[in-house]
Amino acid sequence: MRDIVLVLIVAALIPVALKRPAVGALMFAWMSIMNPHKLTYGFAHDFPFALLLAGVTMVGFVLSRDGRKPFPKSGLTAVYILMIVWMSITTLDAMGDPAWVRDRWSFVMKIHIMILITMMLIRGRQDIERLVWVVAGSVAFYGIKGGAFTLVTGGGSRVWGPPGGMIEENNALAVATVMMVPLIYYLRSVCTKRWLRIALAGSLLLMAFAILGSQSRGALLALLAMATLLGLKSRHPVRSTLGIAVLMVVAIAFMPDSWTTRMDTITTYTGDSSAMSRVYTWMTLWNLGLDRPFLGAGFGTDTLNVFKRYAPTEAPFDVFTGSVWVAHSIYFQALGEHGFVGLFLFLMLGFLTWRMSARLIRDTRKDPEYRDWVPLLMGMCQTSLIGYAAGAAFLTLMHLDVAYYIMAIVVVTHCTVREARNTKQAKPSPLAQAPSRQAADGVRLNPRAAGRS
């Protein structure tokens, strides 16, 4: 039944996407983030819906004139394109298995190409908020489901994401959920329907329990960092901060002793094998970066080839010698895969996204056309970035599509404000034209003045 419903939904929206490619971009975001087909049990489970929707969106993008917007030129998008190009260059000299590297490059490029297309299709508050609903809702679905699971089980079992997706692992789902909490808060703040505001408030509560129920130590740190900034960036900082603090205390008090014991290992990481495997991997990737500072190892650093050449031989945790691990950090992942150049571009991408959102907050705070939504949305995007920067510091999530959709939301909001203001400035003002019309009428209607002249 699920298979049939999903296929009918996609089939009904494909003609709409061809006419309005922005709908196709939203559908692709939904399919690639939420992976609804992985929740089916029949023929739809392994069908390449994302690839189909990407093709439909591109066809609509090429054929549509009204739907396609100019490419958003800015320092941020320039760095983004440079990073995409640089990742392609490092692929040419990758140290991993060539076939696997090509597959990984293809997977990553599909994400970034669709992000770029989305930037040229989404404009205006309505479409931007639709994108926020799709991105946040796709993750929140599992956050709500996981929060309910945590409450029912008393927090004794871990919360996992959709099978086969980028947020399948408990840690990845937790960080993605942390990032979406600010966007759900934004939707609740601008929503006018009371029943929906109540539903979104309940969703935030369940998402908090899902984050804790993942038993991810990195997600706990991300949750604390995000919650602090969320209170400061909200419309009512004092009230929101107190409310968030009470919610955090109640949620943590609910969790069982096994959860508390696991979280306590944050301060005693030297005795935890999982934490020390990260240190071992980071030392390996640092050695790799020093030896190959420009190109790194390309996609996939968790190979015997990399660890045999660069793993520390005198590490204080010899039990890991000969082991192969993934990067366990977006920063060391960027360094190991794409060298110091790739790490610089990755960090610049985050910095420029933050700066663009900060400028939008400053420029629209007193503008009656935008002050009701742009400053709050940009503040929530900044809060999401903090959650990603803190939580993914311990996870291999450099290519998490949700993070790049946050950047896309900032870019298209900037384009919406800039293009609208440029249009207003380009239009001749009626007041500016009034003197010339009056002068012309004066010559025709005032014969005395004409005679004297």
Model confidence pLDDT, tens digit, residues 77-123: 999 999 999 999 999 999 988 999 999 999 999 999 999 999 999 99
Question: Which one, of 111, 213, 159, 172, lies nearest residue 395 by Cα?
Answer: 172
CA angle 197, 200, 201 (to 5 degrees): 85
Instruction: Give the pLDDT of residue 107.
Output: 93
Q: Cα–Cα distance between 220 and 256 in angstroms, integer? A: 15
CA distances from 1 to 4, 44, 52, 339 (A): 5, 10, 21, 48
- CA-based R_g, the chain, Å: 26
Q: What domain range includes position 24? A: 1-68
Closest CA to 408 of 135, 35, 24: 135
Greatest Cα-to-Cα distance within the chain, rounded to the nearest angstrom:
106
| 33 is a domain residue | yes
- pLDDT by residue (tens digit) across 397-453? 999 999 999 999 999 999 999 988 888 877 665 545 555 444 444 444 444 444 443
| Structure-token pair, residue 113 | 């190409």
The alpha carbon of 9 is separated from its chain's Cα centroid by a whole number of angstroms, namely: 25
The Cα–Cα gap between 448 and 435 comes to 20
Task: Give pLDDT, residue 321.
Answer: 59
- Return the minimum-mean-pLDDT range out of 181-195, 301-315, 431-445: 431-445
More reliable by pLDDT, 191 or 156: 191
Residue 120 lies in a domain: no
Give how far Cα 17 sits from Cα of 24, 54, 59, 231, 438, Å.
Answer: 5, 10, 9, 38, 50
Answer yes or no: is 383 within a domain: no
User: Residue 5: inside a domain, yes or no?
Assistant: yes
Residues ≥6 apart with Cβ < 8 Å to 12: none
- Highest-scoring range by mean pLDDT, 56-65, 66-75, 329-338: 329-338
Counted domains in the chain = 1
42 lies in a domain? Answer: yes
CA–CA distance, 142 with 201 (Å, rounded to integer): 16
Q: Is 429 part of any domain?
A: no
Contact (Cβ atoms closer than 8 angstroms) between residue 279 and residue 234 = no
More confident: 71 or 259? 71
Question: Residue 47 domain-assigned?
Answer: yes
For the chain, give the mean pLDDT. 86
Give the count of beta carbons closer than 10 Å to the beta carbon of residue 74: 15
74 lies in some domain: no
